[in-house]
Every structure is written in C-alpha cells, then in structure tokens.
Amino acid sequence: MAELLYEGKAKQVYLTDKEDEYIIHYKDDATAGNGVKHEQFAGKGVLNNTMSCIIFDMLEEAGIKTHMIEKINERDIRVKKVEIFPLEIIVRNITTGSFCKRLGVSEGVTLDEPIFEMSYKNDEYGDPLINDDHAMALKLVTREELTYIKETTLKINELLKDFFLSTNLKLVDFKIEFGKTKDGDILLADEISPDSCRLWDVDTNQKYDKDVFRQDIGNLIETYKAVLARMEKNNKEINNGL
C-alpha cells in the first residue's frame, strides 16, 4: 500500500515509487462551511473523479498545463507532484454566494466582466479574501507567477463556460488551485467538479452543484449524476458529429 502523504476533506494524496508523481484518491465525503457540515454520499468520489477527468482532458487539449498524468481507476488518478499555492482562485461570472453576502448585491446578476478573486487557504482564519499585494506580502506567490495564474485562469473560465454551455448549464462561478513543480512549472491542480463550480440550468436556473448540499435543497448524488449524464451526452453528440 502506498504511503499516505496528506488527507483532505474530500481526497487523499499518496506517495508513489516515482519521486515526481502522486496518486490522488477521491473519497465520498462532502463538507461545507469549513467542515462544519459533513456527510458521506456513496459513490460521490467516483462521480467527482469522472467529471474532473473529463474536464482536465478538455483543458489539456485546449493547451492548459495541468497536473494530470492518467486516470488509474474510478477513484484514483496519477498526477505530477506539485506544491500547491495556498490560494483559492475564484472566478465569478454571475453574482451569488459570498460575493452577495459580503457586498449586499442581488443574486443572479450577470457581470459585465468576470471577477478574479483570491482567498488565502487557511482554515484557522476561514480562508480570507486577499488581494495581489497581500499574496505577495505573505510570500504565497511571486508577481510573475500571479500574472501567469491570472491569465491562465481567465482562459480556463472561457473554456469552462463554453464547455458547460454545451451541456445547457451556465458557469456561475468556480474555484481552482494551482501548484508548482520542482522545475518551476505552474500547473492547474486539485479538481474541477460540481463541488468547486456553481452550475445553473440555462432555462430554469435550477442548481446543479454542491449548493444542493450546502443549502439542503436536493439530492447531491442525483444532481451530480445528472451533470455527468449531460457531459456524456454532449461528448457522444460531438463524437457522432451532431
């Protein structure tokens, strides 16, 4: 059995016999409110891994450098070893969530331009929102690294918006993470799934993401299965040239 390096809320990271590779294992846990709300949903890890792999493959094909090497099985992926920047990189296309709570603005307003936000990944302080100067003062990232991260994030936003729109879902907002290899390459890391994106149906605005769990407004597994089904239907249509 490989040696466990780190256990997070929804994933485990294992060392491998290769110095520059890790294995990430997806668990069935869902948490919200900095771990205050915590439940297990049988099969969630499989769904998240499956969706995240489809999305990372799409991004790689579009020229985004990611940590992904290969999917090993339903719950495990082999990735390049990176040191994660302790930053949650958030993009907002439509207002909701903490943006509305903090600033008192209405929900569901489409923004003229995407908003780029950063939070300092630090549970003790509740992942506080920070700006570029804070990130540099805390030595979390250099200016050059941040410039690259911002540019890449905005490209990812465009790619993800198109990808989800083709499944009749609007990309409301999302959180991503980047890491650095020992050679200094910056790679998109962690996962992209309905755990980390807000997705609303184009026609009805129904929520197809972790807000169903956060707000107790639906069945998480059925919701995630529905998102995967939309992705797979869309893939089939593309492959059949429809």
Burial 75-97 (b: 16+ CB within 10 A, else e): bbbbbbbbebbebbbbbbbbbbb
Q: Is 177 in the site for ligand 5GP (CB under 6 A)?
A: no
Q: Is 26 in the site for ligand 5GP (CB under 6 A)?
A: no
Phi, psi of 187 (to 5 degrees): -125, 145
How many whole angstroms separate alpha carbon 65 and alpha carbon 21? Answer: 15
Tell me the torsion sign for CA atoms 122, 15, 9, 165: positive
Of 90, 135, 156, 212, the residue at the interface with ligand 5GP (CB under 6 A) is 90
Structure tokens at 157: 């936003």
Nearer to ligand 5GP, 120 or 148 (CB): 120
Minimum CB distance to ligand 5GP, residue 235 (Å): 23
Structure tokens at 26: 């997806």
Q: What strand order describes the sheet that includes 4-7?
A: 4-7, 11-15, 21-26, 76-80, 68-71
How many whole angstroms separate alpha carbon 69 and alpha carbon 93? Answer: 30
Minimum CB distance to ligand 5GP, residue 183 (Å): 28
Q: Is 196 in the site for ligand 5GP (CB under 6 A)?
A: yes
Minimum CB distance to ligand 5GP, residue 42 (Å): 19
Q: What is the dihedral of CA 130, 132, 133, 138, to 10 degrees?
A: 60
Minimum CB distance to ligand 5GP, residue 3 (Å): 25
Of 16, 98, 181, 235, the residue at the interface with ligand 5GP (CB under 6 A) is 98
Nearer to ligand 5GP, 2 or 120 (CB): 120
Taking CB atoms, the residue at the shortest distance from ligand 5GP is: 97
Of 43, 86, 97, 218, the residue at the interface with ligand 5GP (CB under 6 A) is 97
Q: Which helix (H) or strand (E) holds 22?
A: strand 21-26
Size of site (CB under 6 A) for ligand 5GP: 13
Binding site residues, ligand 5GP, CB under 6 A: 88, 90, 97-99, 173-175, 195-198, 210
